[in-house]
Amino acid sequence: MVKAVDFLRRWSSPIIPFAIFMISLILLILSITAFLIQTELDHASHTFAVQYPGSSLAEWYFLSFNPEFIDFGPSTAIFAVASSSLIAGCCGIVWYMVERWEVKRISVKKLCITTCITSTVNTIFSVGFMIYIDIIESKAQLPKFKIDWDKSKFTREFYLCAALPQVFPNVNSLYGFPACDVAKAARYEFHVIVCIAVMLLGLSLIQAYKKLMEWRVDNQRGNVEMLINGMAHKKGYSTERVSAGGPPSGRSAIPATPPPEVSTIEKPPLAVLRAQGSSLYEYYHRQ
């Protein structure tokens, strides 16, 4: 465990906190972009319909831009992952800023735990929904006859990229923008979000483990200090410094030479820790 703590101490400050900040920022931007892409596709899937090529008005045969057989499960999954990624990215950014600028009003421990929990939940959701979307897209098949479309379930990407071009080769002219490319970009970006979420989870767990070791060492040193001072007072010794004029009034004389086992632990001033940019654990480790 000592080797692991030394390795984490060398590499986690300041590389890992800054990496968490940058990855959280990238995850935040990707989440917002995913929201914008899905919103664009939702606006494109309006209630308009186009007459089927080769049919007459008497047949009244139209193709809807937003048919009822569209499966919106993948789109809902992307919205859900974008929301959870947005929360995880915000937690990572706030954690870095609070720890970097030493904001005392916010507990670093609570932010550490919150970031790890949100990153874990976001990663689980992202990986699960990615597998779900890939399976749905891989199983999508186009029926042989158009009349069977109503009995099938198409994802939005499959409908824009495979089904609708069978009837209207120039789909982009109907929507006014490259709808198929945008739908594919949404799924590809989703895979990038999953990779970034996994990276954020790994770095968050490493930084949390390092902080846990530091807090544990600080608590142990505080307990040792309290134990030594308590033993000194119990045996009749004092760890206070005696002035040149003699012992304080009303107290017995303090032995000139304290026992070897009695010692005092002096904590470094807060200004020294800030100037060195290190924690209490790192300060004692260098002594």
CA pair distance 216, 224, nearest whole angstrom: 12
pLDDT reported for residue 250: 47
DSSP string, 103-166: -TTS-HHHHHHHHHHHHHHHHHHHHHHHHHHHHHHHH----SSGGGGGGS-EEHHHIIIIIHHH
| Cβ atoms 122, 87 nearer than 8 A | yes
pLDDT reported for residue 240: 47
Q: What is the pLDDT of residues 192-211, one digit of tens each?
A: 999 999 999 999 998 888 87
CA pair distance 172, 176, nearest whole angstrom: 6
Confidence of residue 244 (pLDDT cuts 50, 70, 90): very low
Query: What residues pair up with 71 in beta bridges, in sequence order?
Result: 155
**The tokens 């609708």 sit on which residue?**
164
| Cβ atoms 165, 181 nearer than 8 A | no
pLDDT reported for residue 174: 76
| Cβ atoms 186, 37 nearer than 8 A | yes
- Residues in CB range of 31: below 8 A, 6 or more apart: 82, 83, 85, 86, 89, 193
Q: Classify strands 154-155 and 70-71 as parallel, antiparallel or unpaired.
A: parallel
Q: Classify strands 49-51 and 62-64 as parallel, antiparallel or unpaired.
A: antiparallel
Residue 13 has pLDDT above 90, yes or no: no
- Residue scoring higher pLDDT (61 or 83): 83
Say whether pTM exceeds 0.75.
no
Residue 243 has pLDDT above 70, yes or no: no
Q: Sign of the C-alpha dihedral, residues 19, 207, 107, 91?
A: positive
DSSP H helical ranges for the chain: 2-11, 15-44, 73-101, 108-139, 156-158, 164-167, 171-175, 179-234, 270-276, 280-286
Average pLDDT over residues 110-120: 89
